[in-house]
Amino acid sequence: MSMFEDIPVEVGVIYEGERVRKNDMQVELGGPKVKEKFELAKVRPMEAVEDGKVTIIGPDLKDIPEGSVVPFGIIVETAGPTLDAGLEGVIERRIHGYLNYIEGFMHLNQRYDIWMRLNKKSFQKGLNSFGYLGKVLYRLFKSELSIIEKVQITFITDPAKITEKFSEAVADYEARDAKARGLKDEEVDKVYGCVLCQSFAPSHVCVITPQRYSNCGAISWFDGKASASIDPKGPVFAIERGELINAEKGEFSGVNETVKKRSMGDVNKVWLYTAFDYPHTSCGCFEAIAFYIPEVDGLGVVHRNFKGVTVNGLPFSTLADSAAGGRQVDGFHGMSIEYMRSKKFFAADGGWNRIVWLPKEIKERVKEFIPADVVDKIATEENATNTDDLKAFLKDKNHPIVERWVEETAVEEAPAEEAQIEDQTMPVMTASSLPITAGGFKIILKDAKIYANKVIIKTLKDEKAK
Ligand code: ZN
């Protein structure tokens, strides 16, 4: 590729899904071990941007000791006569795709969650300065988004400078999200799809509606619209919503058709407002994940930066693994934090009345969007660290979920307490990609169907009683 002749490693789409493992890494930029990290795009006046300028504040790649983990910030400043601030989210999300084109470089997540690694091989080939990353970004922005006339890029590794810019970036994200609130799903004919994550999650199609942000939390409906208009052949595209099939669950004919096509037939049906049956698929970069807690018939939510284990004894990473990769898993739902501020947030499941546990940090962040009559009834890690405590807490606070327990007891008086299906071998579980972790190995079964000679269906109450 002649466009990148002066870059010491190759640059191309084929490197997009590449992972850099810990043992191969020269340096880690941002990531879970670092508190402050960010990437931010800004649209500036023409005279405020010097086209092609790359600035490095703090140690450059060659000055960072091998194996280090460092705080990191990227600021992409752009200008153009028809460019406006409404495109900042779209420009910013492209950083992910473009940096992943670089051989031996991995970019995950977005905004304040960014996590990058450079491998030793590419470093040894000469990729030893952020200057090269700047050149790649600069050329791709200019060639792929013609609306951008000028770009300047700043890389920051200096901790003091990161702290200063981090709070500015967080305020910017919040302002952007606030601007996107208000429009309702019912008010639009078009929604947007995003396949930016398909390099890591092949069957994933993000469906972005006014009241449902992308899983990564970086693309609103307005961003989707802007992106599709400036780059219609790009990874973000318009979806004709089509006929409303199920208003409660959030099922639309146009969404189903597009998801089916774009997931190569892996996913045929998506319900946008529920975590059950046909939930939205989960990519790999979702900000948080909702998980069903059968003991209390409620949903817990945990975000990527939560360090401990959740109320069911599992950390974010394990819960994330059980749904990631573009799968549709009943009771699991990778999602954005912004979705928690939406009126459609698990609306079909009872909305906030179904949420029983979430980390304190997230509860604080979304507090004003939680209905006042339930906010104090939702447990955090300070109230419950296991499901027994959780159950006691919910009962004590009279969380709306408690009503569901009563209903279930009534249903249970019905005769059949255990159903057995024995006469034929039937598939009990199907999955397009099923990871099994055992003894230090990870085995991934593609298009798996698991058969059993006998299926026993029990209600959870029976199990408890024994
Ligand atoms: Zn994603």
* pLDDT of res. 434: 56
Instruction: Compute, in angstroms, the gap from residue 405 CA to the centroid of ligand 1.
Output: 35
Which region among 1-15, 73-87, 117-131 has the lowest average model confidence (pLDDT)?
1-15
Q: What residue has token string 């640059």? A: 11
Per-residue pLDDT tens digits for 141-171? 999 999 999 999 999 999 999 999 999 999 9
d(CA 92, ligand 1 centre) in Å: 14
With a cut of 60, say whether residue 442 has pLDDT above it.
Answer: no
Q: What is the pLDDT of residues 378-435, one digit of tens each?
A: 999 999 999 999 999 999 999 999 999 977 666 555 444 444 444 444 444 555 555 5
**For position 425, what pLDDT does the model report?**
46
CATH 3.40.1470.10 segments of the chain: 287-323+350-414
Mean predicted confidence (pLDDT) in 92-112: 96
Please tell me the distance between residue 98's alpha carbon and the centre of ligand 1 in angstroms: 15
pLDDT tens by residue, 312-341: 999 999 999 999 999 999 999 999 999 999
Spatial distance between the Cα atoms of 113 and 165, rounded to a whole number of angstroms: 15
pLDDT for position 453: 54
d(CA 157, CA 19): 22
pLDDT at 180: 87
pLDDT band at 454 (very low <50, low <70, confident <90, very high): low
Task: Tell me the CA–centroid distance for residue 121 and ligand 1, in Å.
Answer: 27
Residue 283 Cα to ligand 1 middle (Å):
5
| Cα–ligand 1 centroid distance for 37 (angstroms) | 18
CA of 402 from ligand 1 middle (Å) equals 34
Q: Please give the pLDDT value at position 385.
A: 96
pTM metric for this prediction: 0.78
Q: Where in the chain is the domain with CATH 3.40.970.20?
A: 183-275
User: Among residues 229, 226, 227, 224, which one has the least CA distance to residue 209?
Assistant: 224
CA-closest candidate to residue 139, choices 11, 270, 292, 311: 11
- Give me the CATH code for the 183-275 domain, please: 3.40.970.20
For the residues 26-33, what does the mean pLDDT come to? Answer: 96
274 Cα: distance to centroid of ligand 1 (angstroms): 18
Check residue 433 and give its pLDDT: 53
Q: Are 200 and 281 in contact (CB under 8 A)?
A: no
Write down the mean pLDDT value for the chain: 89
Q: Cα(216) to centroid of ligand 1, in Å?
A: 5
CA-nearest of 199, 239, 237, 222 to 89 is 222
What pLDDT sits at residue 464?
43
For the chain, helix (H) and strand (E) counts, in that order, are: 11, 21
Give the Cα separation of 74 and 122 in Å (integer): 20
Q: Please count the other Cβ atoms lying within 10 Å of the Cβ belonging to residue 362.
A: 19
What pLDDT is recorded for position 126?
98
**Distance from the CA of 133 to the center of ligand 1, in angstroms?**
22
Q: What is the mean pLDDT of residues 445-466?
A: 51
Cα 131 to middle of ligand 1, angstroms: 27
C-alpha of residue 447 to centroid of ligand 1, in Å: 21
Using the mean position of ligand 1's atoms as its centre, give its distance from the Cα of residue 201 in Å: 8
* Tokens describing residue 200: 């890591």
The pLDDT-based confidence of 291 (bands split at 50, 70, 90) is: very high
The CATH number of the structural domain formed by 2-180 is 3.30.1650.10
CA of 215 to the centre of ligand 1 (A): 6
Which part of the chain has CATH 3.30.1650.10?
A: 2-180
Residue 282, C-beta contacts closer than 8 angstroms, at least 6 positions apart: 201, 204, 215, 289, 320, 323, 324, 325, 326, 327, 329, 332, 333, 334
Distance 398 CA to ligand 1 centre (A): 36
What is the whole-number distance in angstroms between the Cα of residue 285 and the centre of ligand 1? 4
Please give the CATH architecture assigned to the domain spanning 287-323+350-414: 3-Layer(aba) Sandwich (3.40)
How many Å lie between the centroid of ligand 1 and the Cα of residue 427? Answer: 30
| CA 292 to centroid of ligand 1, rounded, Å | 21
Band of residue 463 on the pLDDT scale cut at 50, 70, 90? very low
- Average pLDDT of the segment spanning 188-198: 94
Question: CA 447, 451, 457: angle at the middle one, nearest 5?
Answer: 115
Q: Would you state the pLDDT for residue 436?
A: 54
CA distance linking residue 352 with residue 371, whole number of Å:
7
